[in-house]
Chain A
Amino acid sequence: MRRLHWWQRGLVGVSLGVLAFLYLPIVMLVIFSFNDSKVTSFPLSGFTLHWYEAFLANAQMLRALANSLWVALFATALSVVIGVTAALALDRYDFPGKRLFQNVILLPLSLPGIVTGIAMLNFYKQIGIPQSLTAVVIGHATALLGVVVSQVMARLAKINRRQFEASADLGATPFETFRHVTLPGIRSAIVGSALLCFTLSFDEIPVTYFLTGREVTLPIYIYSTLRRGITPEINAIGTVIVAVSFVLIVLSVTLLRDRERS
């Protein structure tokens, strides 16, 4: 082993610092969710599960949670169905306007959500649809399409084209080829991007902010509570959300990673 140069050690230092920067705040959130005090300050004053009990007893919060779960579920289902068909079409066919279509569908990935939210709000207003959770579902599905399309297309690009030709050569119809060759190849990308969509929709703020009506989602509920002030209850629900998201995201990233072995 060659010894590390000073600059390499510096690099290690900076990198560990950035990693700490990424995780310390989350650790704080978790710590204070168990801290027996109304303020989030050191030294810690004792262990409590009170804040968890509080949010479990908060009917409004639980209702918002249920809303969020439904919204995320439907938005994900829509994104996956539309996103996968779009990815297949984009991958397989050349047609006029392909690049433009692709750019439009991927635009929400780098466009601040607030613009999408405002555009859809204007649209709903014009066609007379009221702000509601349904409006939110459609908004989320639209904003998250890009996630599914980009991930599934990336996977499709890695599949050896000859497999499709071989399948057709062996007498499979296009649908059979999709079922037996294409789908197994992209299945983990679909599941991975679905998990990602679910988490993102569950946490979505900017689009939801403009499209939601009387019924709110959990992030909007938290957001409006926060504007009034901090309660450790938020730390508790926050810890739960972070924990669940973590599991879903790790799962998703694992599934989306190129399976280099195959």
Chain B
Amino acid sequence: MTLTRRTIPGFAALFSLPLAWVLLLMVVPYAIMISVGFWTRQFPLFYPDFQFGNYAQILADPQYTTVILRTLKIAACVTVCALLLGYPLAYFLVFTVRSQKLRNLLYMSVIVPLWVSYLLRAYTWKIILGTDGALNSLLVSTGLVSAPLDIFLYNQTAMVVTLVYIFVPFMVMPLFTVLDNIPRRLIEASEDLGVGPFMTFWKVIFPLSLGGVIAGATMTFCLSFGDFVAPVLVGGPDGTMVANLLQTQFGAALNWPLGSALATLVLALVLILLQLSSRLDRAGRVDLA
């Protein structure tokens, strides 16, 4: 409905509370965070200001740039790995599992872990990969290695494994949806026109699933980029990520202006990616009717 004299009262009744909430508790806080990013710090106090010193520091100081680049790298690794694991799984669920019941059950079993305590799921990798953890003790007791290895935990690989583990369901969800929405007739049509399963995948299924790939990749990238639990639990000395820097700025380092500037950068990155992905998705969207 468009707003007319007749519909405005109902609209106002419905919409005033959400609007007030979003303005006061989302828009205003983000605005404040962005403006604090321009403040100056004179330890231990902060002063309102408008200067780009915090940004200059973040982008010039190797201490920060290294971490930002590393975070980008790890998030990219996680995204690629999650895609490589998630795509076959989604494909399998949609096209190989014939029984609707079994498919729903399996799909549910894939996405349920996504919502189950994120902290505990990161933590389990600590008990698996640790020096006296499950993996090591298994290797030792089967005689594959003579002494526990400390190569599993506290490094970037452990972080990638943990983050992939956490975010794979995020990848599977949109992929499952797009694959499931591809009319079976299109695949039959392709086979009817003499095209085998491989080329059918490459020329019909994959192009039509790109929207899901983009959506899943965006989610996975954004969320793993901002993760701070995995680095703390399984990351090593070279495992600090942007979120840990942020933590420090609001904790021990007590530099809120710099922290806010950094958080603003994360916000900007996420917004750009979301914009990009929705544009890509719209450009690639096809009328499946």
Consider the complex of A and B and state whether they touch directly, i.e. have CB atoms less than 8 Å apart: yes
The residue in A94, A123, A230 that gathers the most chain B C-beta atoms within 10 A of its C-beta is: A123
Contact with A along B194-228 (1 / 0, CB 8 A): 00011000000000000000000011001101111
In the complex, the chain B residue whose C-beta lies closest to that of A9 is B96
Report the Cα distance A93→B30, complex, angstroms.
Answer: 26
Tell yes or no: A120 within 8 A of B by CB: yes
- B3 contacts A114, C-beta separation under 8 Å: no
Chain B residues closer than 8 Å to A111, beta-carbon distance? 222, 226, 267, 270
B186 beta carbon closer than 8 Å to chain A: no
A110 and B168 contact, CB distance less than 8 A: no
Is B54 an interface residue, CB under 8 A from the partner?
no
Quick check: A89 and B25 within 8 Å, CB to CB?
Answer: no
Number of interface residues of B (CB under 8 A): 87
Interface residues as binary, B17-37 with A (CB distance below 8 Å gives 1, 0 otherwise): 111011001111110110010
In contact, A26 and B113 (Cβ under 8 angstroms): yes
25 A-B residue pairings within 8 Å (CB atoms) = A11-B96, A12-B92, A14-B88, A15-B92, A18-B168, A22-B110, A26-B116, A28-B128, A83-B18, A85-B14, A89-B14, A95-B3, A104-B22, A104-B27, A118-B250, A118-B260, A142-B25, A145-B22, A203-B117, A203-B120, A205-B118, A238-B120, A241-B117, A246-B116, A249-B116
Please give me the residue from chain A that is nearest to B225 by CB atom.
Answer: A112
Asked if B111 lies at the interface with its beta carbon under 8 angstroms from chain A, I say yes
Asked whether any CB of chain A lies closer than 8 Å to the CB of B69, the reply is: no
Neighbour of A94 across the interface among B1, B86, B118, B197, CB < 8 A: B1
In the assembled complex, A160 has its CB within 8 A of some CB on chain B = no
A32: contacting residue among B10, B93, B134, B138, CB under 8 A: B134
Q: Is A15 a contact of B89 with CB atoms below 8 Å? A: yes
CB distance from B218 to the nearest CB of A (A): 7
Give the complex CA separation of A214 and B133 in angstroms.
33
- Cβ-based interface call for B15 (8 A): yes
Bound Cα distance from A190 to B175, whole angstroms: 25
The distance from the CB of A124 to the nearest CB of chain B, in whole angstroms, is: 8
- The B interface, classified by DSSP as helix, strand, loop or mixed, is helix
Q: Knowing A42-B141, A249-B116 are in contact, say whether A226-B106 is a contact too (CB < 8 A).
A: no
Given known A-B contacts A26-B121, A222-B119, A114 and B17 have beta carbons under 8 A apart: no
Residue A262 lies at the interface, judged by CB distance under 8 Å to chain B: no
**Chain B 30-73 per-residue mask, 1 if CB under 8 angstroms from chain A, else 0:** 10110010000000000000000000000000000000000000
Rounded to whole Å, the gap between the CB of A151 and the closest CB of chain B is 12
Residue positions of A touching B, CB distance < 8 A: 5, 7-8, 11-12, 14-15, 18-19, 21-23, 25-26, 28-29, 32, 39-43, 81-83, 85-86, 88-89, 92-95, 101, 103-105, 107, 110-116, 118-123, 125-126, 138, 142, 145, 174, 196, 199-200, 202-203, 205-206, 209-210, 219, 222-223, 226-227, 230, 234-235, 238, 241-242, 245-246, 249-250, 252-254, 257
- Set of chain A residues within 8 Å of B14, measured between Cβ atoms: 85, 88-89, 92-93
Check if B243 sits within 8 Å of A93, measured CB to CB: no
| Chain B residues with CB below 8 A from A223, complex form | 119, 229, 232
B211 to chain A, nearest CB (A): 15
> In the complex, what residues of A have CB within 8 A of residue B133's CB?
40-41
**B1/A105 in contact, CB under 8 A:** no
Q: Which 4 A-B pairs have the closest CB atoms?
A: A112-B226, A41-B137, A86-B18, A25-B124
Determine which of B25, B116, B274 lies in contact with A242 in the assembled complex, contact meaning CB atoms within 8 Å: B116
Interface centre among B109, B113, B132, B228 (most CB of A within 10 A): B113
Partner of B112, one of A112, A115, A210, A246: A246
Tell me the complex Cα distance, A21–B109, Å.
Answer: 12
Min CB distance, A13 to chain B, in Å? 9
Q: Which one of B26, B112, B132, B232 contacts A227 once the chains associate, using CB atoms below 8 Å?
A: B232
CB < 8 Å: which of B138, B165, B263 contacts A25?
B165
